[in-house]
Amino acid sequence: MSCQFEHHYVVVNATNQPVTVEYHFRAIPDGEHVNRYGVLVPKYDFHEPKLKRLSEIGKDSPAWQATLERRTIRDDAKGELRITLLPGEALQVFSDDGLAAYEYEQAPGRRSKYPIFPIADLTISGNKGQVVYKDDLVFKQFSRSESFVYQLRYE
């Protein structure tokens, strides 16, 4: 399957208070390496997070921006990212050419044991409480909003 458009998976803060988004990436199969202490440790399929104002999402909008260092904590050893998301911001957690959506929506019986969608779990914490998604439930929370943008809204 080939697609010419980039698909964006975004977490949206639709509240009037900052929220914390924490997620873990899946380990890369056979991607382990030996650290300086001789211990075998996994490597993770990190995708750099990017930000936009929710009002800027669309065809002719500005490019996605790198997340600010002061609002982002990255733990390479755990494959974890923790980001503070301000009200009205959209956090792009993953993007691809459509293969993840194809794998989950069109070809569920042919999914490989190494899923294309790289996020293993995702937690959003804010003034409305905490929501936690794991495994396949992470992908299923993203709903297509416009063209090739899939949103998970915290409201």
**13 belongs to a structural domain:** yes
Rounded to 5°, angle at Cα 94 from 88 and 97: 120
**2 belongs to a structural domain:** no
**1 belongs to a structural domain:** no
**110 belongs to a structural domain:** yes
Which residues are within 8 A (CB) of 96 and not within 5 positions of it... i.e. 6 or more apart? 6, 7, 116
The number of residues in the chain equals 155
Q: What is the pLDDT of residues 4-22, one digit of tens each?
A: 678 899 999 999 999 999 9
**120 belongs to a structural domain:** yes
Q: How many domains does the chain have?
A: 1
Which residue range is the domain that position 99 belongs to?
7-154
**131 belongs to a structural domain:** yes
Contact 87, 18 (CB under 8 A): yes
Q: What is the pLDDT of residues 107-146, one digit of tens each?
A: 666 656 557 889 999 999 999 999 999 988 999 999 988 7
User: What pTM was estimated for this model as a whole?
Assistant: 0.85
SS3 readout for 74-128: EECCCCEEEEEECCCEEEEEEEECCHHHHHHHHCHHHCCCCCCCCEEEEEEEECC
Q: What is the pLDDT of residues 38-69, one digit of tens each?
A: 777 788 888 899 999 988 887 666 788 988 88
**77 belongs to a structural domain:** yes
Residue 59 Cα to chain centre, angstroms? 20
